[in-house]
A and B are shown apart, each in its own frame.
Chain A
Amino acid sequence: MKRLMSGNAAVGEAAILSGCTCYFGYPITPQNELTEYMAKRMPESGGIFIQAESEIAAINMVLGASVAGARAMTSSSSPGISLKQEGISYLAADELPAVIVNMVRGGPGMGNISPAQSDYMQATRGGGHGDYKTIVLAPSSVQELADIVPVAFDLADMYRNPVIILGDGMLGQMMEPVEFEHIKKTKDYPKDYILTGAENRPSRMVRSLLFDTKEEEEHNWKLFRKFQRIENNEIRYETYLVEDAELVVIAYGIAARIAKGAIKRLRQESIKAGLLRPITLWPFPYKQIRELAKTINDFFVFEMSTGQMVEDVKLSLEGRGHISFYGRPGGVIPTPIEIARIISRHYYKSQKVRKS
C-alpha cells in the first residue's frame, strides 16, 4: 500500500527498513521532517536517536556508531553539511560506512531555505580535506528517494565509504505516494574491522594518522584503487527519449524532473529532445555522455545553480559537441514551461546556425 509522505519522512522510513539503527541530527530547514520522523520512529523500532548539539557532533556520533558496527545516518542541509565535512573526511580516511543526506538549499552562506543544487561540487569532489571521494546519489522523486536509501547503505557497507544522498529542499518537503513494501536490508556485510572490545581476539585500532609518509602514500593509493572500482562498477543514470534525439538535456535530481516535463512539451512541438539524468553524481557517467556525442551534437545542461555539473559534462565530452547551459541559482524553481521555452529558443537558434 502506498503512503502519502514527504521526501524527508520517506528517507527516514526507508532507512529504518534498510536496517539503519542509529540516527543523529541537528535541526535545519528544509530537512527537519526527517529529524522529527526519526525522533519518533527510531525509539519505536528499537533504534537510537540523538538530537546532537551541532552537525559536527552528529557526524562524529555517526562515526562512533559506525565503528561499533551499526548502520548509521545523519542528515542536514547545505550550511550543516559544510560543518560535517571534517567528519566525512575522517569516515573516508578510516574506511567507515555512513549515509549522509543533504537536502540542499540556496547558498552561499545562510542563503535561504528554498531548493537548490549548489552543493554539487562539494558533494562530488570529496568536500573535506584530503584525497577522497564520496559516492553521491541524486534521486528525482520521493519514491526514488526512498528506493535509493537501501542502495546507499549497501554501497556504504560494500565499499566501506561514506555515501551522500543529494536531494534538495523541494524533494525533501514535497509529498508523494510512496511504496515501501520492497525496501529491506538485503544482506549482512562482514564487519571484521569494527571495535567491540578485544574479547578473545587481538586488539584493533581504527585511525587516520599515519606519520610515516610511505604508509600514508600507500593508504592514499589503496583508497584510490577503491574509488576506481567504484567508478568501474557503480555508475547509475537514466535516459529518456535519447534514441532519436537531436538534442540531449543533461540534468539531475529535481531539475531532471522539471526537464522531463519540458521535453514532453518539446516533443509535442516536434523538437526531438531527450534527457540523460545522472543518478550517481560521483561516479559520474562520463563515458555514457561521451558515447551520446557519437550521434548527438547538441547538449543542454540545466541546473539549479550557476553551473557546477556542467563542468563534468565538459569533461565527459572532451571537446566534442556543443554545450549550452541554463541555470537558476538561489532557490528559484523554474517551471517545465520556462525550460521548454528556453530549450526551444536554443534549438531554433542552433538550427539556423546549422543551415547558414
Chain B
Amino acid sequence: MKKIYTRPNALKDTHFHYCPGCGHGIINRIIAEVIDELGLRGKAICVAPAGCGMLIYNYLDIDTLESAHGRGAAVATGIKRVLPENLIFSYQGDGDLAAIGTAEGFHAANRGELITVIFVNNGVYGMTGGQMAPTTLKEQITTTTPSGRNPVNAGYPVKVCEVFSVLDGTSYLERVAVSSPANIKKTKKAIIKAFQHQLNRTGFSLVEILSPCPTNWKMSPLEAFKWIDEVMTKQFPLGVIKEVK
C-alpha cells in the first residue's frame, strides 16, 4: 500500500500541547514538512520565542534555542553570523516581534540578515491569557481592552509586513493564513520561498501567518477560521508584500 500521509521526520513523535483549534500546531507541522522536503534537518536551527509557540522545541526534531521575549531576531543574527551555511529561523508571535522585540526585528531586517522570521499573528497575547497585542484589531475585545481596542488610547493594529517592506534589507515578505486547506498549502509555499531567499542569500525574509486562537477569541475553531477570512484579512490583506528577484 502506498503511504500518502505520515509524520514528517523533523517532527518528534509526541502530542502537541496547544489548545484545540490553535494554529501553532498546524504551523509547526508545516515547518517540519518543509525541512524534510528541502532536506534541511542537519542544517536548520530554530529560535523559539516567549509565547505559545515557545514549546516548538518540544516538537521540531532539529537544533533549537529558546530566546528571551522579543530577542529572537538578535539571537538568530548571532547564530547566523557564526554559521553562515546553516538555515536559521526565528518563530515569533505578534507580541514577541511587534511589541517587545520591535527593535531587534526591525534592525535585523534592515541589516538584511540572512535569517527567516516565521511570524505568527493571532491578534492577541496567547500565552499570558489573551491580552491586547500590537496586531489586535480596532474594537476587538481582549482582557486588557474590555470594551474593545480604542485607537485613541491603544493605537492601531500594526502591519508588520508593510512596515518591513520599506527596508532595503528585506527580500521576501508574504502574508498568509492557516484558515483553510488551500491557505495552509499557500503557507507552506511561502515558507519554502522564504527559506530559499535565505539560502540564496538574497536578504531578510519573513512570513506572517494569520493564525487562529479560539481560546482567547472565545470562538469555536470553525468560527475562528471564518473570522480570519472575513474580518482579520481586511486589516491584514494576504499575499506577497515584497519579493526581490
Contact residue among A48, A196, A197 (Cβ-Cβ distance under 8 Å from B81): A48
Contact residue among A68, A87, A197 (Cβ-Cβ distance under 8 Å from B71): A87
CA distance A206 to B81 in the complex (A): 18
Residues of B within 8 A of A196 (CB): 45, 63, 83, 86
CA distance A90 to B69 in the complex (A): 11
Give residues of chain B (5-47) contacting chain A, Cβ–Cβ below 8 Å: 41-45, 47
Once the chains bind, are A198 and B62 in contact (CB under 8 Å)?
yes
Once the chains bind, are A198 and B42 in contact (CB under 8 Å)?
yes
The binding surface of chain B is classed by DSSP as mixed
CA distance A21 to B42 in the complex (A): 24
Once the chains bind, are B62 and A203 in contact (CB under 8 Å)?
yes
Given contacts A195-B64, A195-B65, contact A68 B83 (CB under 8 A): yes
Contact residue among A57, A70, A204 (Cβ-Cβ distance under 8 Å from B82): A70
Q: Is B222 an interface residue (CB 8 A)?
A: no
Q: Is B76 an interface residue (CB 8 A)?
A: yes
CA distance A146 to B178 in the complex (A): 55
Encode A189-225 as 1/0 by CB contact (under 8 A) with B.
0000001111110011111110000000000000000
Closest-CB distance, B167 to chain A (whole angstroms) = 13
Contact residue among B79, B103, B104 (Cβ-Cβ distance under 8 Å from A67): B79
Once the chains bind, are A207 and B77 in contact (CB under 8 Å)?
no
Q: Is A143 an interface residue (CB 8 A)?
A: no
CA distance A337 to B3 in the complex (A): 86
Contact residue among A60, A62, A195, A200 (Cβ-Cβ distance under 8 Å from B63): A195
**When A and B form their complex, what is the total count of cross-chain residue pairs whose Cβ atoms lie within 8 Å?**
131
Closest-CB distance, B80 to chain A (whole angstroms) = 8
Number of interface residues of B (CB under 8 A): 36
Max chain B Cβ within 10 angstroms of own Cβ: one of A22, A67, A69: A67
Once the chains bind, are A68 and B82 in contact (CB under 8 Å)?
yes
Given contacts A53-B103, A197-B43, contact A61 B83 (CB under 8 A): no
Given contacts A198-B63, A203-B62, contact A209 B76 (CB under 8 A): no
Chain B residue at minimum C-beta to C-beta distance from A58: B74
Residues of A within 8 A of B111 (CB): 50
Chain A residue at minimum C-beta to C-beta distance from B69: A86
Max chain A Cβ within 10 angstroms of own Cβ: one of B75, B86, B106: B75
Residues of A within 8 A of B80 (CB): 64
Residues of A within 8 A of B (CB): 21-22, 24, 48, 50, 52-54, 56-58, 60-70, 72, 86-87, 90, 94, 195-200, 203-209
Residues of B within 8 A of A (CB): 41-45, 47-48, 54, 57, 60-68, 71, 74-83, 86-87, 103-104, 106-107, 111
> 10 pairs across A/B with beta carbons < 8 Å?
A56-B71, A61-B77, A61-B78, A64-B47, A64-B79, A197-B44, A197-B63, A197-B87, A199-B43, A209-B66
